[in-house]
Structure 1
Amino acid sequence: MTTTRHESGRRSGSSRRPTQADVARLAGVSQTTVSLVLSGSGAAQRRVGEEVSERVLRAIELTGYVANPVAQSLAGGRTSIIGVYTYEPVFPHDAGNFYYPFLEGMEDEAQRLGVDLLLFTSMAPSHRGLTGGSGIRRLRVADGCVLLGRHSSPDDLAELVRQEFPFAFVGRRETPAGEVPFAGAAYQDATASVVEHLLELGHRRIALVNEYTGHESVEDRARGYRRAMAAAGLQPVTFDQGDRDAGDLLDALRASGMTAAAVSSDVVGRLRRAALDRGLTVPGDLSLARLGDPEIREDADVDWTGFLIPRMQMGAEALRIVARRLAGDEDTDAQVFIPCTLVDGSTAGPLAPSA
């Protein structure tokens, strides 16, 4: 299994292309003002004023900024604002937050496109969702919207599809009402690759420890696991993590003769600690592979075997999908899967001779 280094963080250096944000900072105006100047319409020029317009044009010349055609099309008769709505209070307090890279990817892509982001922080989700009140109407303050969060509402997605509102979800989502635009992680392929790696290490009794929630990301991981096991001619064995104690889960794995497990990211750390507390070794007695990044950062620094979620790329691609829809580009994919980063790690090893 090829190991790819996981990189995150903001691009830096003099090679970075100048953005509308750079022009706005140099001219001392907002990005909306820059967009108005770039639109070139008489009405827009009157709104901005001759002195401000000249200042913006001078800043464009000094920075070497080249207008993005998608951003220009967004400015034509629109606000050049794309909203961001979350179904949970996910806005991060620090760079270590699980959701931080999603938002960072959106921010970087917004700067590249020359659009502004509007965070719908006052629209606290309720049991009624967006469709239970004025939520979708309020989203129309922006030209389109990126939606984010684990506990989304199928009714909301169905209504957004019905109204043909330009949106995209960060993560795969489905609704019977029609195609939901999304930028999702390729969990099925990544999980299959992880199981194939365990097979290459000699393991044949490989379990999947997952949750049964019907969530799309959970289903994708289960499909990938079953696909790899079926290709190897082996019987899939799935354990529902549920609310069971990690020690009980470990006992069940051991009693079933499992030598390896592909485990959801939220329980794999507790399972490893339970094994170590009982004097077992990982990966000597039990190989563990983590299926993604945990939502809550772990205290222990473990070199996990498994895969990492392309969170920054997902946020950026979701924004690009909305921008393409606003630009009238209906021929490109509205549902995009982004490969996960596979990591060899040190928590999975060759099958022990006695196993």
Structure 2
Amino acid sequence: MAKVGRLTQRDIARIAGVSQATVSLVLNDAKAAAGRIPDETRERVHKAIRETGYVADPIARRMAKGLNRILGVFTYEPAFPSAQADFFAPFLFGIEETAQTLGYDLLLLTGAPANRGKRQIFHENNRLRLADGCVILGREFDRAELKKLVAGDYPFVAVGRRDPVGAPVPFVGADYVTATAEMVRRARAKGHTKLAYVGPSKGAESSVDRWLGLNSVIDAADLALHLPEVGGKALPMLEAIRKSGATVAFFTELADAVVVDAAARSQNLSVPGDLSIVVLGSHLRPMQSGTRFTTFSIPREEMARRATQMLCERIEAGSKGEQVLLACEPVEGDTLGPILQSPTDLK
């Protein structure tokens, strides 16, 4: 009488005339079995599988490979406060979409308490090993932790370009150097020769890359003003820009551009007639910020999708990971125009 119910590895072993352990090794392509199972034995197992239509239990195979099918997501800054929500949301959308497609669950690692607004990956409360690997996000990473990750055997991928720490870091980032250089070229094509730059030249890789992009296409004399601090007061920033003789201001932070734009309009200055404004990267939808700023789009969702895909390849195939930069597309906006008149000092 034919056996009723789901076939098991024991049934396949009996049909093929081998042990159940041999069937398990063949099914999971265990490296340890490469030189121990003769080709003829492997063929008998595969023949039994083909003839019976046996399908391996996915949970059993997962356990045999030591995988939980869980991806960790770690953010150095809190992911959900209102001040940062717009920054992290596209990343989380991309990670969730790809994880679902690839059959993984997500574990948001929030157990480590924040120290001065920063979490630690290797804090004792972080349940890192519950996940098969981890996608890591943050404006600025802890380099000591990153070095430890690179030297270890835990699969991870960073979202955003990261400098090597003894060895290359697997990442998917945005090409801020090329994108910033293109925005400067567009401004110069409209007659702007005196530029102001509001943003740091040091620190996180994303800040350094924007600064490098600016300096790759201008001479020192072209930079009329550099304000390295972000988050300043609107009117003092506007006054400094106008007094410098700059006709276009580049901002690394959208929030600074928003307040300077509002301050200019409150002074009856035309944007872009009296002052052009360029934001060096935004993921906001048009008009979400109130003004259609000239900028470039940061492909945050695609960065997250590619990083999640790369992580799964590291987990399942043992790949080392790569360093990938994605292009940022220019967004025309309404705040970059030709020079109409020379700037004058504010009274």
Judge same fold: TM > 0.5, yes or no.
yes
Distance 1:95 1:250, change over 3 A: closer
Secondary structure in 2 matching 1:292 = coil
Q: CA RMSD in A?
A: 3.2
Partner Cα separation in structure 2 for residue 246 and residue 80 of structure 1: 49
Q: CA deviation at 1:97?
A: 2.9
Distance 1:318 1:91, change over 3 A: farther
Secondary structure in 2 matching 1:266 = helix
Q: CA deviation at 1:197?
A: 0.7
Partner Cα separation in structure 2 for residue 213 and residue 289 of structure 1: 20
The letter of the residue matching 1:180 is V
Kept in 1: contact 2:283–2:299 (CA 8 A): no
In the TM superposition, 1:274-289 aligns within 5 A as 274-289=263-278
Q: Map Cα deviations across residues 103-145 of structure 1 (whole Å, 9 max, x no partner).
A: 0100111122222211113233436953664267x31111110
Q: Map Cα deviations across residues 254-309 of structure 1 (whole Å, 9 max, x no partner).
A: 111100111122311111111111111100000001112279x9975211101121
Show structure 1 runs of 5+ residues with no match. Answer: 1-40, 46-71
In the TM superposition, 1:174-189 aligns within 5 A as 174-189=163-178
Higher relative contact order (CA 8 A, sep 6+): 1
Equivalent residue number for residue 134 of structure 1:
124
Kept in 1: contact 2:112–2:124 (CA 8 A): no
Deviates more, 1:279-288 or 1:243-252: 243-252
Show structure 2 runs of 5+ residues with no match. Answer: 1-22, 28-60
With normalisation by structure 2, the TM-score equals 0.73
Kept in 1: contact 2:192–2:247 (CA 8 A): yes
Secondary structure in 2 matching 1:267 = helix
Partner Cα separation in structure 1 for residue 328 and residue 140 of structure 2: 22
Secondary structure in 1 matching 2:222 = coil
Partner Cα separation in structure 1 for residue 236 and residue 289 of structure 2: 22
Equivalent residue number for residue 217 of structure 1:
206
Equivalent residue number for residue 65 of structure 1:
none
Q: Map Cα deviations across residues 312-339 of structure 1 (whole Å, 9 max, x no partner).
A: 11111111121121233637x5211111
Query: Which one of the candidate residues 236, 246, 268 is aligned to 2:223?
Result: 236
Q: Map Cα deviations across residues 136-191 of structure 1 (whole Å, 9 max, x no partner).
A: 7x311111100112242111111111113210111122353321211111111111
In the TM superposition, 1:104-123 aligns within 5 A as 104-123=93-112
With normalisation by structure 1, the TM-score equals 0.71
Kept in 2: contact 1:157–1:175 (CA 8 A): no
The letter of the residue matching 2:236 is D
Q: CA deviation at 1:310?
A: 0.9
State the aligned residue count.
283
Query: Which one of the candidate residues 252, 258, 262 is aligned to 2:240?
Result: 252
Q: Map Cα deviations across residues 43-75 of structure 1 (whole Å, 9 max, x no partner).
A: 9x9xxxxxxxxxxxxxxxxxxxxxxxxxx9998
In the TM superposition, 1:51-200 aligns within 5 A as 76-91=65-80, 97-126=86-115, 130=120, 133-134=123-124, 138-200=127-189
Query: Which one of the candidate residues 289, 309, 324 is aligned to 1:336?
Result: 324
Kept in 2: contact 1:73–1:327 (CA 8 A): no
Partner Cα separation in structure 1 for residue 154 and residue 83 of structure 2: 32
